[in-house]
Amino acid sequence: MSFLSRIRRELPQFVNIGQYRLRLPPGSKLNLYQAQFRRYDIALGEIARVIHKAYPTMCAIDVGANVGDTAALIRKYADIPVLCIEGDKKLLPMLMENLAQMEFEVVIEPSFVGRDRTFVDETKIREGGLNASLVGAIGTVDRGIEMQSLETILLRHPKFAGAKLWKIDTEGCDLAPGFRSS
């Protein structure tokens, strides 16, 4: 690894999204993506604005909230309540710090989304603190972090049960092993 790569991987980084200045984890590529792709993530903000115009009391859910960049993007376009679901213990302090800037209702649910009574083995999480992948870390052995189904999470946050906008970014765990759609 080159000296510059090591420095970039170790130094804190920041990104501006609307009026928010968000701290990013060391090694984040968000600034690179935004510089390389001028319209990166803009579509989601525009979608939020259009839906909010049609449904002024709407709310949104962000599964895999990371450091709150999607919440900031949504809030750049409209004052929409956002439920931010993130289970990575390394990212949660940064998520809390970043969302503290948002005056309007933004709620953090510190969970990984999955089937109730399944667990994440913390020792098998890849890229924890950046873009964690749970592939190969999920099981039914009562060890690690218990996952929560969306139904369970929404029982704790009923205001968001009728969300009009959902963003799901779960690094390969969008469909758990054995998942069957009906």
Task: For residue 20, give the H/E element and its range.
Answer: strand 20-24
* pLDDT score of 112: 86
When mean pLDDT is compared across 27-31, 76-80, 135-139, the lowest value belongs to 135-139
How deeply is 52 buried, as exposed, middle or buried, from its count of CB atoms within 10 A (0-12, 13-18, 19+)? buried
Average pLDDT, the chain: 82
pLDDT confidence bin for 182, thresholds 50/70/90: very low
CA 170-173-174 angle, 5° bins:
75
* pLDDT score of 107: 96
Q: DSSP of 44-113, one letter per residue?
A: HHHHHHHHHHH-TT--EEEES-TTSHHHHHHHHH----EEEE---TTTHHHHHHHHTT--S-EEEE---B
Q: The domain 13-110+150-168: what is its CATH number?
A: 3.40.50.150
Which residues sit opposite 159 in a β-bridge?
none
Which residues sit opposite 166 in a β-bridge?
61
Q: Residues, the chain, total? A: 182
- Separation of alpha carbons 154 and 103, rounded Å: 22
Q: What is the residue whose two structure tokens read 């005056």?
A: 103
- Separation of alpha carbons 95 and 166, rounded Å: 18
Q: Which phi and psi (to 5°) does residue 51 adopt?
A: -65, -40
Question: Cα 116 from chain centroid?
Answer: 19
Domain ranges of the chain: 13-110+150-168
Taking residues 127-132, report their average pLDDT: 56
The per-residue pLDDT for range 132-147, each reduced to its tens digit, is 566 666 666 676 777 8
